[in-house]
Amino acid sequence: MASISFDSLTVYLVEPSSMQTQLVTHMLDQLGVSQMRHFSGAGEALSEMRAKPPDAVVSAFYLPDMSGTELVAAMRDDAALERVPFILISSETRPQVLDPVRQSGACCIIEKPFTPEQMQRALVSVLENASPPEELELGEDEEPENLKVLLVDDSVMSRNYVRHLLEDMGIKHIFEAENGKDAVTMLADTMFDIVLTDYNMPEMDGRALIEYIRTQSWQTEVPILMLTSENNLGRLAAVEKAGVSAICDKPFDQRTIRHEITRALRR
């Protein structure tokens, strides 16, 4: 593993299992995390977070008082905690169970059994989150603050998370739609520089929206970046065929989405 300093991070570990606690604590210690607090349940952890927000929360999925999904939802509903990086460690693999965590803007989901390298990558994302935000690298005559972005997602938590990332990049004109149908209405009235859309949405999903934009909209050439937790290869292939500019898997960090947006705009 490359030498990276994590000694400045304060990490809260929410884990009811003593064996798993020892494993994660040892791993964090080996990576150089010296400021760590352990909580067996989410309620106590939330109380302490609200008193003193940590740099990151590492949590199990199944907790004695609530699930990891409910914990991150409670964090995202609190203005003081909504941007604290959340790392989930779980043996749970069912997409329908993990999807709400991905939609919340989780920093990383680590599947058991995991390695120190996987934990290190998650902590690197935490450090990047704590670093001063970088603006988009555009052409000489282009400014991020002049861009108009359409953000389409039925998850309020996901939209809030992405909005914060976009604002950190210097983007000020962000329009939000809850589904593809609402996005179509907005596309008829406003010229956008890029569209960011989820896949699974009611009324009109991401694939149908992309097909509409590419075949019926007056903005057929607008770059479209799909932000999704969808892992069905057949569905993703259909999205690519429909004309998506790029696909960004949830969860993602600011560096990833900044890179994808920059690449899509340069095309």
Token representation of residue 120: 């290190």
Mean pLDDT, range 1-18, rounded to an integer: 85
Q: What is the pLDDT of residues 195-244, one digit of tens each?
A: 999 998 999 999 999 999 999 999 999 999 999 877 777 888 888 998 99
Cis? peptide before 113, omega within 30° of 0: yes
CB 24 within 8 A of CB 89: yes
Whether residue 267 is predicted with pLDDT greater than 80 in this model: the reply is no
What does pTM read for this prediction?
A: 0.81
C-alpha span between 147 and 173 (Å, rounded): 6
Q: What is the pLDDT of residues 95-129, one digit of tens each?
A: 888 888 888 878 889 999 899 999 999 998 888 77
SS3 content of the chain, % helix, strand, coil (to 5): 45, 20, 40
Q: What is the pLDDT of residues 161-201, one digit of tens each?
A: 899 889 988 899 999 999 999 999 999 999 999 999 999 89
Give all domains of the chain, ordered by start, each with its CATH number.
10-130 (3.40.50.2300), 144-266 (3.40.50.2300)
Q: Which carries the bigger pLDDT value, residue 89 or residue 105?
A: 89
CB 85 within 8 A of CB 56: yes
Whether residue 1 is predicted with pLDDT greater than 60 in this model: the reply is no
CB 157 within 8 A of CB 73: yes
